[in-house]
Structures are given as structure tokens and as C-alpha cells.
Structure 1
Amino acid sequence: MSEHPLWLIEDNSRPAAPPYGPADTPPIPVFPAPADSRIDDVAFRAAVGDISARVADALEGAATRQEAGRLIHAATAAWAREQLAEGVVVSPGTHARLVRAVEDERYGLGALQPLIADPSVQNIDVNGCREVWVTYADGRKVRGPAVAGSDEELVQRIRMWGVHGGQTAREFSTVTPMLNAALKERVRLSAVMAVTPHPHVSIRCHRHVDVALADLVELGTLEAGLAAFLASAVRARKDVLVTGGVNADKTTMLRALAAEIDPDERIATLESEYELYLDPLPHRHRDVVAIESRQANSEGHGEITLDAEIRHSLRLNPVRIIVGEVRADEAWSMLQAMNSGQEGSLCTIHANSAEEVFPRLLMLCRSGGLALDSEDVYALVGMAVDFVVHLRRDVRTNRRYVSEVLEVLPPADTAMPARNHIYRPGPDGRAVPATSPQCLDDLVAAGFDPAALWKAS
């Protein structure tokens, strides 16, 4: 038996007592897991590939996921019988692992699917076929399982995920070597090839989709008084920008703010890749138009930009528009929409501080080649934006928190918008009340108790 991969005989999921055959049949011997996990991974992936190929045609005709599961189980059992005929016994634990792995190949992200299903996993980074790093919500970073037998196989998998995983197919080739896609597992996938020595993949898992401000209080992102302040700002139809660095949970904050919108208000969500997922939450939002950008085809046609989405969405009768992330010249259209009737709109933007958002917006508005004076941009920002909510991430603990809230006002003594620091960073960096906003009456009318500010100011 030593000539066969030992994982076929036993694995860690096997029950303590080995199964027995007929009365005169000795028990199946139990072997320890192989020391070389790479050999085990290679053999296991080969078996998954073999079974997947056998059942591929049958799965095309499967009417339901349950029927597909039965087909995969039968194909795995037939494969195991072939192994038995060669003198190799497949343990019950390995059989179950194979069935799950084949299902993951067909309907998920293959070897990465168990990580996607783990609620404590936050990010998965793949550097070539064998190097995988998994970051958990508590900040731990550990090596994960290999995802492919070669870089070429990894590229094929990325193509399959990008084409079939989301609503809008995305090309991934030497001509288009960078891919961004939202997958049905509610994860964001970014990949690059050809311009790097190995293909690279980064996956961000969205864990807090059905989320409200009260949930963020429990998570420690903000305190209850600030949550009440932001809730009243949304209800009072104030336009809010959420800022922060990479992985600061800006999108989670955007979802939580959106949860304060009346469920019957018509919302248009505009994104480069779907990440907000408000439309599958009818208990929070019953009237949602969700729009995703589209890249051009190989002939350079068919592109739908975020800027075009914003301008077209205004014809779809939204009461509010929510832009997942402003990254380029769509900033100008977003500001114009905020100032032209879509009050109470929300968006996120990358910035290292609340104050930095103003030159950042100026740069983005000019990025499309528009000849805009800084005074014009800042004047529009001052009229369109009401509040900036800034998030920070503690790199030591991986915890996120609100550090600042600015009230934005029209320019006064300088070209830049006037600012009112409602919440400033406290001793630990978290936002603490500093002063009252000029629009306090509007917030009180929307249910805010000003004692939450005056008590600490």
C-alpha cells in the first residue's frame, strides 16, 4: 500500500474507530497523515480534477443544486470503487472531502471556498499557485492551502471566477491583465497577470452586509451618541461622504448609514463592482436600482463607466443615490447630483484624513481632463456635501473606528469649503464630540437628542 498516497487511506476527519467489513475481514489499517502536505495537496487536487471532469456533462443538465449534489456524490463513489479495485481504500472522511471539493470547484472558488465560508476570514491574498496568505478579522495572518498545480491553472481559475462568478463578465488576459469583479459569494476579487512574474489574486470577504449603526456600536466602530448623530443626519437627508484608507470598512459604514433610509425610498446604487448588496435586503430596502460598471469588450466597445451610471441614474427617479466608491472624474457628476435634488446621498472616497478629502476631490474632478477652477470645485463641494465621516484602522489590532466627523459649509474666507469639527480624535484616536453643527435644528427635527453633544462638549 505504500506506493499509494496515504491520504486515500486515512485523514484527520476519520472517526476514532475504523470501519469494519464482514466478520472475517480485518479492520482497515490506520496510517498517520503524510508528513509532506504538498504531496497530499497535489494528489487530492488530481482526484478532484478527475471527478470534476467525469461529472461535468451531467451537471450541465442538473435542474437543481440538490440534484447536482447527488450526481457528484455518485461520481465520487464510482471513482472510489475504481481505487478499491486497485487495492486503495478511500476513507469515509476523504470521500466526504472529495464531494465537497468537487462541489466547490463547480459552484464556488475551489480550494478557497472553505476560507470564503469561514466568517472569521477577512482577506485572502494569492501570490502564484502555491503561496496563499489568509488574514483574519482579529489581525492574524497565516499561510493557506495551495489553490492550483501551476500558475497557468491559477490563471484559468481566475478567468472562470471572473466570467461566471459575477453578474457582469470580466475579461482576464494578456491584453487585459487586471481584473476586478464582484462574485456571487459576496466577495470582491482583484487579480493581475502578465505584468507580474506570477499571477496574483486578492479577495476581500464582505462579512457585515445586513448591518445597521447599532451593529457597528457593538463592534466598537463608534459609540452610541455618534451613531444617533449619524442616523439623524441620514434621516434629515444630509449628503455624507465616508472617507478612510484601504480596508478601513468604508463600505460597511455606507451600508449601516443606508439602513437608516426609509425602506420605501427609491435608491440607486452605483458601483464599479457590486459590494453594497442593498437590493437583496428587502426588509431594509424595498425599492433599489443596483447598477454595476462594465468594461469595454476586446474591440473597445460596450464600456459603461461609473460617471455614465451616475448621470443616467437621475432618469430612473431615485430619491437618493449611493456611490460605492468615487475614484475618478465621476466625482464631479456625483457632486452635481448631490446639489441638484438627490439630497441625502452617500458615497465613499479614499483619503487619509477628513481634511484631505477636499484636495482629493479637486484632483478627482480634474482627472478626466475637465478644465475646472479650484474655486468652482470647492464651491460645489461646499454646497453639495454636508458631512465627512472618517474611518481609521488600527494596524496592530485590525480594529476599525470613526475618528472624525466634519460638517462641510460653503467657502468663506478661503477658496476651500469652511469646516466645522463636530467630532475630533480623542486620546485613543476615536471620535469624541467637539462642537455643535450649524444644522443642529435639522438633526433635532429628525430625532437627534443634542444632549449627546452638549454633555461632552
Structure 2
Amino acid sequence: MSDSWPPRKTSDPAVPFGEERAFREAVLAITTSIADDLKDTEDRKAALQVVQTQVQRWVQEQVAAGKVVSFTAQRRLVEAVVDERFELGVLTPYIRDRRVESIDLNGCDQVWITYNDGSCHRGPAIASSDDDLIKMIQMWALHKSYNPREFSAANPLLNAALRPADGDEGVGVRLSATMSVTPRPCASIRCHRLVDVTLDDLLKLGTINRSLYRFLRAAVLARLNIVITGGTAAGKTTLLRALASEIHPAERLATLESDYELFLDKLTHRHQNVIAFQARQANSEGAGGIGLDDLIPHSLRKNIKRIIVGEVRADEIVPMFEAMNTGHPGSMCTIHADGTEEIFNRIVMLWTRGVGSQTPPAVIHLNTGQTIDLVVHLRLDPSTNTRFVSEVLEVLPPADSELPSRNHLYRPAGPGGRAVPDITPQCLPRLKAAGFDPALLDPISARWEPR
């Protein structure tokens, strides 16, 4: 091997595939050889010494085989192995690039990087084979996940929140991976850049305008139960974090998630008294699983004032509604839905999917109308990759039909479908008591500033 190996950067598209593959194979071989030595350590300094020693041994083997490895190559090998163990290997530079929103892997050599302007570009191969990619994902699930997760033929579906890289505490990383059920192992990595986010930040970004800023702030302070809806990547989790930033720092909260994404317990300057719950997947025998529907009732025994569910997907909707109706006003959650009118049928579907499968839809709609106060809907503009609030719905008990009554407080009548006020809410007295100025419901006061 000469000074030209390994290539200058494994992300350089001009690097011959053979050289890049050789580099990745060397990194994986060294990483695998020290896996047991570094199994339980999180001490990077101690790990660095182990890595340097093993790289030296590897270099000696190459020299004995008649190959030359430059000092530059050795240094890069050490860095790459450390990244492989503590970060996400060759993907680490992309995770640290604040322009990157997601990374999709369709096998080891089909890598697609999506940026915050909506553009998508082909990235370098991440591993030399699909088997090596599986090993890498298994390493991430074991060492980078907040709770170790199994990824194998017995458990081919993986969802995990990964710990941020050193110096990147403001980034949340979510991993979803599959094997066996797809022709090749696949993974998607989503980077949440706005973890420590406020409504002020969303106002500056254009997600909300001044009227919505004051309205949503008052809704949180008035302890209204809020459901955030939207499609995939519409910004639901980001808005949930921003709403939570308006809660008094000393108020005792519980966050409940399938995989950690909210990280309110890490933002101690904003939230001083938080219990963060995460569901636990069952083992390969199907035992030991703990779902959100188990955690929500348990959390209510912890003197919680509000509960915040990252995403309601199934059985947890029943205990979530019970919590909202039994002394925990001001609770919040997100639900995947493509519009505010779809939320009611979506709730029925989620409810009947689990323990409430025998509950008549009319009873579910009555519970919905008595529990939820507001639905805030987000939309993603695919042409500009911008997110914004498009609708706000006030939810009331059923009146003339089985469905809950509702007032379209903000309709998508602004630029590009952005929300503008339409009708005075019945909850206005509660909002005014929390400091909301009704004049902000005037269409002129509620205009969106051009961006």
C-alpha cells in the first residue's frame, strides 16, 4: 500500500471503489477485533489507546505481507475505527453536517443523502458488503442506542434513538432498519436538528406567524389538551418540543415514547423535573416487551402534572385519553394524519386496533370530543421543503352527529396554504386568562410576513 491509500476521503466520489472497499474492510476488521475489549466502555481516551495498539498490529501484518501503510493512512484508520465504535462510521460527517436531514441506505452501496433544501444526492458506499452493513447496524443498536436493541433474523425490524456524537448534543438521531423482510438490508437515519427549540425559533423559521405564536403559547399556559397532526417529516416532534418549552420549568412532566426523540429531560435549563419513559421491545422469544399502553398508567403514579406522548400509534391512545380526562390537563401528543378532518377516523382506527376493539365508534367520538381541545396541523411544502402550520381545529363534544363538533379556528387560506384565523374559539376566555389578545385573530394582525 502506498501513500495514496486509504483515499483522501471515503466520501470523495473520485476515489476508486476498490480502494474505498479496502479501507472499509480494514476498518471493519480492526473494529471487530477489539469489540470484546471495548464492549462496555464509554471512555473514549481509554478506547483510543486500544484502537491505536490494534492499528499498529494490523499495520505490522501489512508490512509483513510486503505492503506499506503511510502515517497519514494509520491516523485515518484510527479515526475511522473510533468513529465506527462511538459514532456512525463513514456517516459521521453527514450526521454532523447541519444541512443533512436524512440518510437512506438501500444496501451497503446505495446511499442517499437528503438535505434541508429538499435535494437528494448519492453518497459513498458505507460498507463493503451487505453482511458488513448488518454488522454495523447491530453495533449501532448495541452501543449507540439509549437502550440496546436486537437486530437479527429473529428480530428483523429495528427502531432506535441513537446517542448524539460528542459535541452534537443538540442533534437527535433516529434509526430505522430492516433485514430478511427486504431483498437487502435497509436503513433510514433521521437527524433532528431542532432539539432545543422554542416557539420563538419557529416564528423566525416561518413555521408559525405572530398570531399563532401568541395563540399556541396561551393554549399551553391555559392547559388545553393539544394534538399535533401532520404527515411524515412535517415537523410534528419539533413543534411538540417548542410547545413544551412554554411550560413552567419546575412543572413535573412525563414524556413517553417508543424511542427517545423529545429529549426534554436533557434540556434542564428549560425542564427541571422530567421523567422520560421509553417502551421496551420484546426479546426474540416474544417476552419482556413493555408498551406505551403499560407505561402511561404507571407514569400517572409519579405525581405527574402533564404527560407528553411523542407519537400515539396504537393501544396507548386509550390510557392517553384517560390521563387527559383525569387530572392531567395540558397534555400533548402527536398523531400521524394528513389533515385535521382525518384525525377523528384515525383515532377510531387506533382505538379499535388495541384493547378497545369492541368500543362503538360513537363512544370513541364522544371521548374524543370530551378529551381533546385543539388539533394543530402541520404541512410540508415539498417544493421548498418548508414546514408550516396550516390549520387549527377546536374540538368539542358531539352535537348533531356522532362526530365531535369542531370549529375551524385557523384555516389554510394564507400563502401556500398557511393558517389564517377564521372563527372565534369557544375557549377564548381561557386563552385570554393566559394572556392572549383577541385582536390577534384579526386577519390583518394575523398576516404572514413574506419570506
Amino acid at match of 1:392: R
Q: Post-superposition shift, 1:125?
A: 0.6
**Contact persistence 1:235–1:260 (CA under 8 A):** yes
Does 1:375 find its partner at 2:354? no
Does 1:7 find its partner at 2:31? no
Secondary structure (helix, strand or coil) at the match of 1:214 reads helix
**Contact persistence 1:8–1:88 (CA under 8 A):** no
Q: Post-superposition shift, 1:63?
A: 7.6
Partner of 1:245: 231
Amino acid at match of 2:84: E
Q: Post-superposition shift, 1:77?
A: 5.7
Of 95, 109, 122, the residue aligned with 1:116 is 95
Q: How does 1:45-444 map to 2 (within 5 A)?
A: 45-53=24-32, 55-56=34-35, 59=38, 64-73=43-52, 75-76=54-55, 86=66, 88=68, 90=70, 92=72, 94-185=73-164, 186-370=172-356, 371-425=358-412, 426-444=414-432
Cα distance change on mapping 1:380 and 1:164 into 2, 3 Å: same
Cα distance change on mapping 1:91 and 1:199 into 2, 3 Å: same
Tell me the distance in 1 between the aligned counterparts of 2:8 and 2:279: 45
**Contact persistence 1:242–1:349 (CA under 8 A):** yes
Does 1:42 find its partner at 2:21? yes
Q: Post-superposition shift, 1:11?
A: 2.7
Kindly, what percent of the aligned residue pairs are identical?
A: 53
Deviation string, structure 1 residues 132-158 (Cα, Å, up to 9, x no partner): 111011111011121111111111222
Q: Which one is further off, 116-125 or 235-244?
A: 116-125
Tell me the distance in 1 between the aligned counterparts of 2:226 and 2:75: 49
Secondary structure (helix, strand or coil) at the match of 2:390 reads strand
Amino acid at match of 2:5: L
**Contact persistence 1:9–1:88 (CA under 8 A):** no
Cα distance change on mapping 1:447 and 1:174 into 2, 3 Å: same
Q: Post-superposition shift, 1:35?
A: 5.1
**Contact persistence 2:27–2:80 (CA under 8 A):** yes
Cα distance change on mapping 1:356 and 1:261 into 2, 3 Å: same
Cα distance change on mapping 1:389 and 1:55 into 2, 3 Å: same
Cα distance change on mapping 1:365 and 1:284 into 2, 3 Å: same
Q: Which runs of 5+ in 2 are unaligned?
A: 165-171, 447-451
Q: Post-superposition shift, 1:298?
A: 2.3
Tell me the distance in 1 between the aligned counterparts of 2:50 and 2:281: 36
Q: Which one is further off, 130-139 or 79-88?
A: 79-88
Q: Post-superposition shift, 1:37?
A: 2.7
Tell me the distance in 1 between the aligned counterparts of 2:352 and 2:205: 38
* CA-atom RMSD in angstroms: 2.3
Q: Which one is further off, 447-456 or 130-139?
A: 447-456
Amino acid at match of 1:441: P
Q: How many residues are matched?
A: 434
Amino acid at match of 1:88: V
Secondary structure (helix, strand or coil) at the match of 1:396 reads coil
TM-score for both structures, normalised by structure 2: 0.90
Partner of 1:25: none
Tell me the distance in 2 between the aligned counterparts of 1:319 and 1:306: 18
Amino acid at match of 2:133: L
Deviation string, structure 1 residues 410-431 (Cα, Å, up to 9, x no partner): 1111111111111111242111
Q: Post-superposition shift, 1:318?
A: 0.6
Structure with bigger gyration radius:
1
Secondary structure (helix, strand or coil) at the match of 1:321 reads strand
Tell me the distance in 1 between the aligned counterparts of 2:277 and 2:435: 32
TM-score for both structures, normalised by structure 1: 0.89
Cα distance change on mapping 1:300 and 1:391 into 2, 3 Å: same
Cα distance change on mapping 1:343 and 1:12 into 2, 3 Å: closer
Q: Which one is further off, 229-238 or 424-433?
A: 424-433
**Contact persistence 2:103–2:114 (CA under 8 A):** yes
Cα distance change on mapping 1:69 and 1:163 into 2, 3 Å: closer
Q: Post-superposition shift, 1:65?
A: 1.6
Secondary structure (helix, strand or coil) at the match of 1:389 reads strand
